[in-house]
Structure 1
Amino acid sequence: MQTLLLDSGDVDANAEMADVVRAVEDAFAAYERGDAQMPAKSYIDLPQYNGDFRSMPAYLDAGDWDAAGLKWVNVHPDNPREHDLPTVMGTMIYSDPETAFPLAVMDGTELTMKRTGAAAAVATDYLAVEGATSLGIVGAGVQSYTQLDAISEIRPIEEVVVSDLDDERVQRFIDAYGDEFDVRAGSISEAGHCDVLSTVTPVKEPIVSLEDVADHTHVNAMGADAEGKHELADALLKAATIVIDDHEQCTHSGEVNVPYNEGVLTDDDIYGEIGQIVVGEKAGRTAETGISIFDSTGLAIQDVAAAHVVYSYASDHDNGSPFDLLGLE
């Protein structure tokens, strides 16, 4: 029995976005039902290298399938300048829950982008207006691409407005999607007045105000993944229906972390977790919803769900590079 090695190109080729969206939705449901195990994300801080490691293990039983895995990921901001390496690199170990055999070792960076887009798509499906045709994106980095890829799977997106301080990044995004969508550069307010808005920036001072969004806009707040990060103004958060992916993670390092820990927001201001909506315990968008916000920190169960899709597709199509990791052959 061999382990499948899947590089970033393999992950991209074998992660059919529609399948990843469905798998991530299944993962949210399993977590809500109690059919998942997800220990808290653990950190190894390396101040001497201005970086850290993060380990994210999980197991989930989605009913028709179950899966287990571990993502090992770093954040080293000095890498691009000093070592010609990415700031963030991830490796996913995907294992057979029954035997613990390592079925695959795959690039976790591409996997993270896919599952992050898929999480936004799941939230958009439940919280955005049904006929949403416009998508605004604030931040034209690598995460912006999978936001459009995933959200366009579940809503008939036609118009895309991209806002970023870097004109070259905006142009690259426009060039990538100009043949498929009506894509243009715009202000934060123009992006925010779309039916759906995804924010994918690392800022620590809010850049999206209450006035920057329409009264029906659904916002995917994807950028905050560490203490102190904060993309949306407190007034916007207070006015919106807030849905989170996980209470512990979001109040520690999600979009709500700053106002929550300052006492501006409390648990009463949080409508619920996305899993509660997926399983039907709470309603999604209603006529009274108004502005909705999904605070996404990224959960290990999402990585495992996405890895399940990648491994299954690669195995069925003889993709990737098998090797005898354990020396059993």
Structure 2
Amino acid sequence: MNALPYVDAEALGRLVPVTRAVQLLEEALRDGLDPEDTPQRPVVDLPGGQMLLMPAAIRAYAGVKAVTIAPDGPERDLPRIQGAYLLFDGGTLSPLAVVDGIALTSLRTPAVSALAATYLAAADASTLVVFGSGPQAWGHVLALRAVRPMEHVTVVARHEGRAEAMAARCRSLGLTARTISGDDPGTRAAVDAAVAGADVIACCTTARDPLFPGKLARDGAAILAVGSHEPDAREVDDDLVARSCVVVESRASALVEAGDVIVPIRHGTITTGHLAGNLAELINGSITAGPGPRLFKSTGMAWQDLVVAAAAYEAWT
């Protein structure tokens, strides 16, 4: 048997640019893909962290992503998230290719957020606050810049050096950028002011507790919460969820994995009926955002990986 083609990070970015990924995801939903039908991913606890297995099948293809999450990875100069994607022929179930799992996650997650922002963010949104300074934070800058006329980015991160490095990358794109880091009262005041003035807020962190007071997000702002996938971890608070039009990838996955909505439900702040709908319903016009903020909660789903991986394989061949 010949060795399977391996689509590395450089090849994936070339074969499926982020604008193409956004288009592919939207086309899949418009063609009738139902996020609620995606199998729930098992999460396996390991000595060094967790492993997530994410299987999906769509028409001509099937695939599975094995992702490991190692909280101590950065301390060892390793990524926190690693993994690989195995793509199969949908009819014969023969293996077709392996795709870099980190690159795939770093592409499809911001693309999903950008797709949601296309429908939730104001057409003239130009001010972005990004919590985090890792691959997802940078990916969100690139993706959101592709769908909205972004001009200014504020990077909020614990590590000053990494925040400054990301801000420099933003400036290289022609954006104005500043950083906020640290834990002193002045830092908190600066974060609050940035949140209050933001058109779009992207939460791309490993935080387990809310990053900012939800009452500060202005009406009409789009908030993208993508960093957590556990029922007890969240990046936004009850106040924001209660004020917002809340869109999730799928109700089924959100009510199992998304602490950002599970915790407010547990507190009695909202009920499941507060969820406005899922991403497919947003794309198909079934959701009308109200006067408050617009919150999109993402945990990452297997169908998204498969759509992008299949497109990369087709472009490769």
TM-score by length of 2: 0.88
Q: Secondary structure at the match of 2:57?
A: strand
Matching of residue 199 in structure 1 with residue 200 in structure 2: no
Cα displacement string for residues 208-245 of structure 1 (whole angstroms, at most 9, x for unaligned residues): 21233122211001112112111112111101110011
Per the TM alignment, residue 294 of structure 1 is displaced from its structure 2 partner at its CA by: 0.1
Match of 2:275 among 260, 267, 270: 270
Which residue number corresponds to residue 15 of structure 2? 14
> 1:250, 1:198 → 2: CA distance?
18
Aligned to 2:311: 309
* Structure 2 residues not aligned, in runs of 5+: 181-189
Tell me the matched-pair count. Answer: 304
- Whether the aligned pair in 1 keeps the contact of 2:34 and 2:280 (CA below 8 Å) is no
* Displacement of 1:155: 1.0
- 1:137 pairs with 130, 136, 151, which one? 130
Contact 1:189 1:211 in 2 (8 A): no
C-alpha displacement of 1:36: 8.6
Partner of 2:28: 27
After TM superposition, list the pairs within 5 Å mapping 1:244-263 onto structure 2.
244-254=248-258, 255-263=260-268
- Partner of residue 68, structure 1: 62
Letter matched to residue 305 of structure 1: V
What is the rounded CA distance, in whole Å, between the counterparts of 2:35 and 2:79 in structure 1? 35
d(CA) in 2 for partners of 1:43, 1:29: 29
Give the Cα–Cα distance (whole angstroms) in 1 for the partners of residues 9 and 151 of structure 2. 29
| AA at the equivalent of 1:99 | T
**Unpaired stretches in structure 1, ≥5 consecutive residues:** 316-329
From the superposition, tell whether residues 45 and 17 of structure 1 become closer, same or farther in structure 2 (CA, over 3 Å): same
Asked if 1:106 is matched to 2:99, the reply is yes
SS at match of 1:265: coil
Q: Residue type matched to 2:277 in 1? A: G
After TM superposition, the structure 1 = structure 2 runs for residues 109-124 of structure 1, keeping only pairs within 5 Å, are: 109-124=102-117
Which residue does 2:183 correspond to in 1?
none
Deviation at 1:80, TM superposition (A): 4.4
How far apart, in 2, do the equivalents of 1:211 and 1:260 lie? 18
Residue in structure 2 matched with residue 53 of structure 1 by the alignment = 51
Q: Which residue of 1 aligns with 2:149?
A: 156
How much does 1:111 deviate?
0.4
Q: Counterpart in 2 of 1:225?
A: 229
Whole-Å separation in 2 of the counterparts to 1:71 and 1:252: 19
Amino acid corresponding to residue 144 of structure 1 in structure 2: A
Change (3 A) 1:224 1:34: closer
Aligned partner of 2:38 in structure 1 is 38
Q: Against the structure 1 CA distance between its residues 94 and 134, is the aligned structure 2 distance closer, same or farther, given a 3 Å change threshold?
A: same
2:187 matched to which residue of 1?
none
8 Å CA contact 2:248, 2:298 repeated in 1 = yes
Give the superposed CA RMSD: 2.1
Structure 1 length-normalised TM: 0.85
Q: Which amino acid aligns with 2:24?
A: A
* C-alpha distance after superposition, 1:50-91 (max 9, x if no partner): 422211011124xxxx43211011112234446x54332111
CA distance in 1, matches of 2:247, 2:169: 31
Measured after TM superposition, the shift of residue 134 of structure 1 is 1.7
